[in-house]
Amino acid sequence: MNKIKKTGGNRKYTVFWPIVFVAPFVICFFLFNLFPILYSFQLSFYDWSGVGEKTFVGLANYVRIVTEDKMFLKSLGNTLFMMVISFPFAIIFGLVISAFLSNLKHGRRFFQTVNFLPYITTPVAIGLIFTFLFDRNTGMVNRLLELLNVNGLNWLGNPRLAQVVIAIMIAWKYTGYYMALYLAGITSISEDIYEAARVDGAGALTIFRKITMPLLKPITIFIIVTSMIGGLQLFDEPNLMFNVSTTSVIGGPDRSCLTLLWNFYDVAFGSTAKLGYGSAVAVCIFIVIVLISLIGMKLMNRKEDVI
């Protein structure tokens, strides 16, 4: 403190205060984010159950993931499939709802809050309620189908249908969140631009396509990138729905709802408690997330040139 006073006022603003303000984040980041990840990375070269001696096994864990362990690839495929059939719908619905909402004078706050509710509902509750809705015998969805003279489906027992149910759950949950983000973006577009377009005789649809959508592009990129990162971390919903303590089989019917993180959790903390191998799985998930995010960002940039 004394030293800084001596060196004059300028140093205060280039060294002392920046450190004060930035230090808490940096310290916590190193202690509780970076260190655990690096430690996991180190563990991924060992065979260890959490107690006793660690055995160094080199790349054996990684070799096993690539050559022997079918679950890693399967969980990757499951996760990607469920992402692809859910998030695009959530994003499109979110955009459309926000466009409708932005035209309203009355009741905007009301609709906005109501549509945001699914996002704040605890995943545990969502899992339970969807289990009721899609139950084969007593679920409402099948009863409605029967009213229409269609045979009820075995939603939670069929591998593909179970994935569809998870996807519906995700689309239902995230639509409101994306709506809020888009709504924020639309609010920030200057009314003058719209006025000018209207004077030029542009219709509502043209305005939406030629003005609103392009101006919302930064938000769309933000949403797509975060939804990819979030989608690859899918865990709560499938786990809560299909993690039944009475069976030892995890991942739902035919393990079709076993996601990357669920597989990781099961390997590291579930039945086997293989911390070293689990860490290797985590590192692979990390690589997948980085790769897919990079590809995503690349694709987005290419699209930019087209529009």
Partner 1 sequence: MKKGSKIFSYVILAFISVVSLFPFYLMIVMSTYKTEEIFKGLPFLPSNYFMTNMKTVFQSNFIGSYVNSLLVSILSTVVCVVISAMVGYGITAYRFKGRRLLINLVMLTMMVPVQIGVVGYMIEMRTMHMTGTLMPMILIWLANGFGAFWMIQFMQSSLPMEIVESARIDGSNEMNTFFRIVMPCIKPGLVTLVLLIFLWSWNSYLVPLVFVNDNSVMTIPIFIKSLGNAYRTDYGAQLTGLAVATVPLLVLFIAGSKNFIQGLTAGAVKG
x/- string (CB under 8 A) for partner 1, residues 52-91? ----------------------------------------
Q: How far is the CB of 68 from partner 1 (least distance, A)?
A: 20
Beta carbon nearer to partner 1, 18 or 254: 18
- Helix H, strand E, coil C: the string for 108-176 is HHHHHHHHHHHHHCCHHHHHHHHHHHCCCCCCHHHHHHHHCCCCCCCCCCCHHHHHHHHHHHHHHHHHH
Among 4, 104, 150, 291, binds partner 1 (CB under 8 A): 104
Q: Confirm or reject binding of residue 175 to partner 1 (CB under 8 A).
A: yes
Q: Is 101 helix (H, G, I), strand (E, B) or coil?
A: helix
Beta carbon nearer to partner 1, 162 or 186: 186
How is 6-68 classified by DSSP, letter by letter? HH-HHHIIIIIHHHHHHHHHHHHHIIIIIHHHHHHHHHTTEE--SSS--EE-TTHHHHHHHHT
**197, burial (CB in 10 Å: exposed 0-12, middle 13-18, buried 19+):** middle
Q: How far is the CB of 238 from partner 1 (least distance, A)?
A: 11
What one-character DSSP code corresponds to residue 212? I
Query: Both tokens of residue 117?
Result: 């509710």
Q: How far is the CB of 6 from partner 1 (least distance, A)?
A: 18
CA dist., res. 276 & res. 122, Å (int): 32
Site for partner 1 in 266-295 (CB under 8 A): 268-269, 275, 278-279, 282-283, 285-286, 289-290, 293
x/- string (CB under 8 A) for partner 1, residues 183-222? xxx-xx---------------x-------------xx-xx
Site for partner 1 in 129-158 (CB under 8 A): 129-130, 132-133, 135, 138, 140, 143
Q: Confirm or reject binding of residue 239 to partner 1 (CB under 8 A).
A: yes
Q: How far is the CB of 90 from partner 1 (least distance, A)?
A: 12
